[in-house]
Structure formats: C-alpha cells, structure tokens
Amino acid sequence: MSWRLVYASAVGTSHISADLPCQDACQMQVAWLNDQQPLLVMFLADGAGSVSQGGEGATLAVNEAMAYMSQKVQGGELGLNDILATDIVLTVRQRLFAEAEAKELAVRDFACTFLGLISSANGTLIMQIGDGGVVVDFGHGLQ
C-alpha cells in the first residue's frame, strides 16, 4: 500500500464576508504498525467563523487526535472500529473542554467541524462531526 499525502486550505466564504482568517487545521501521517504495514492517519478541522476561538479549536482538535493515535500505534493497540472512533472524539472533546475552562470561556467558543480517516490494509475508519465530507476511492470509483 502506498500513500501520497497532500493538504490544501482556502478561506471559506463565511470567513471572507466576516473578514476572518482561514481557520482550517490538518494533521496527517503514515505510521507503521508492528507488522510493518502502513497506517494512514488524517485529521482535519475547520473552526467555526461565528465563534471567537474556532481556529484554535480546530488546531487543538487535530493535534489532540493525532497525539492520541500516535500513542495507540506505539502501544500496539489498534482496532479500526467504533470504540477507537469514540475514544478519539471523546479525547478531542475533553481537550476542548479543558482549554475552555483554562481560558474561562465557553466550550462553544472553540467550535469546529472535525473529520478523521484512519486506513490500513485491513480497513478504513472514518469520523465526521459537523459539516464536510470524506471521499474515498477503493479502486472502484469514488464513493
């Protein structure tokens, strides 16, 4: 399995109309499992332009998700299933709540969309919170 990673970002229309910067964040890597198989890990988030800390929320979300996955890969504990997806989302949620509390803000101030994709030769796990979407080509056209 061979992966090529590319990331691009652009300021959205709501951000342009509100004169806000791009609030996208992305973390991606190819990790290697204990059996020397590649594991594609990607997390993307878009800060809500309607809140004060949306960009920071997006950055915190993808960084926390990637840190969690790095620990899982190093620990050799990995199943591409609902439990992993739930654990990642809850870990991100906990981080956003902690940051909001530390800054004496509402967690809503850190609102962002969140997308995740983890893929190996054994399967693909996709997560989505908010708008956005993931398009995958498994060799039979885009689905």
Please report the pLDDT score of residue 115 as a whole number.
Answer: 97
Beta pairing class for 112-120 and 38-47? antiparallel
Domains and CATH numbers, the chain: 25-129 (3.60.40.10)
One digit per residue, the tens of pLDDT, for the chain of length 143 reads 677 888 888 887 877 888 888 899 999 999 998 888 899 999 999 998 888 899 999 999 999 999 999 999 988 778 899 999 999 999 999 999 999 999 999 999 999 999 999 999 889 999 999 988 888 777 777 65
pLDDT tens figures, 45-62: 999 888 889 999 999 999
Question: What distance in Å separates the CA atoms of residue 121 and residue 67, rounded to the nearest whole number?
Answer: 22
The token pair at 38 is 């590649």
Torsion (CA) 52, 116, 62, 110 in degrees, nearest 10: 20
Please return the burial class of 139, using the count of CB atoms within 10 Å of its CB with bins 0-12, 13-18 and 19+.
exposed
How confident is the model at residue 142, as a pLDDT?
A: 61
